[in-house]
Amino acid sequence: MNFTEHDYDSILDQAIKGDEEAFSFLYQDNVKKIYNYIYYRTGNSHDAEDLTAKVFQRALGHITKYKKTNVPFSAWLYRIAHNLVANWHRDNSRRKEVPIEDQIDLRVKTEIPEKQIEMRQEVEFLLKAIRKLSNDRQLVLILKYVENLSNKEIGDILGKSEGAIKSLYHRTLLELKDSFELPMD
C-alpha cells in the first residue's frame, strides 16, 4: 500500500492523539531502520533487539508530547536511539566488544576460505574504525550505506543542509583514511 506524505501526516496526528493503531503503523515503518542503526552502533543483535524495544517503548510513552516540525518522524526515533546507545556505551565501557559475525557470513559464503578470512578481518577492522567516529559521522555512514538515503534525506534527519552533509561525509572519509592504513589491492 502506498502512502502519501499527507496520509503519513494524518497517521502521525492520530498517533499523537494516542491512537495505538496509528503508532503501530509508525512502528512497522521504522523498526528496521532503528534496528539497523543500533545494530551497527552496538555490534550485536542481542543488544540491538533490546535497545530497539526500548526506543519504541520510550517513543510510545512520549508520543503525545511529540511536536511536529519539518523534520521527519524518524529523526525523533533516531535521536531516542542515539541517547539510548550513548547510555549503553557508557554503562558497558568496560565490556569487551563483540564482533559482528552474522552478515559477514552471508556476504562471503561463496568465497574460498582464505579469502573469506581476509575479507572478514577487513570488514571487522573497518567496522571498528567506524565505531570510533563521532555520532554524526557514524549516522551519516549508516544512513548512506545501510538505508541508501541521499544527502538531502540525511540532512532532513540530522537537521542540516545537503551541502553540510556532503562536507560531513567528505570529512568522515578523510578521518577513516587517516584512522587506518587501508590495504591496497
Partner 1 sequence: MGDDKNLFEMIEKRLDQALLPVRPEENYISSLNNRLFSHPRISIERDNTLKIILFLCLAFFTGFAILILINEIFRNGSQKKAL
Per CB under 8 A, residues contacting partner 1 are: 20, 23-24, 27-28, 31-32, 35-36, 39-40, 45, 48-49, 52-53, 56-57, 60, 102-103, 106-107, 119, 122-123, 126-127, 130, 141-142, 145-147, 173, 176-177, 182, 184-185
Cα distance between residue 183 and residue 127, in whole Å: 15
The CB-of-68 to partner 1 minimum distance in angstroms stands at 21
Q: Which C-beta is closer to partner 1: that of 97 or that of 122?
A: 122
The CB-of-181 to partner 1 minimum distance in angstroms stands at 11
Q: Which three cell numbers stand for residue 46?
A: 542481542
Q: Which three cell numbers stand for residue 94?
A: 568496560
Q: Which C-beta is closer to partner 1: that of 70 or that of 148?
A: 148
CA 138 to chain centre: 8
Q: Which C-beta is closer to partner 1: that of 16 or that of 60?
A: 60
Q: 3-state SS string over 41-93?
A: HHCCHHHHHHHHHHHHHHHHHHHHHCCCCCCCHHHHHHHHHHHHHHHHHHHCC
Q: Which three cell numbers stand for residue 60?
A: 510510545
Q: Which C-beta is closer to partner 1: that of 132 or that of 177?
A: 177
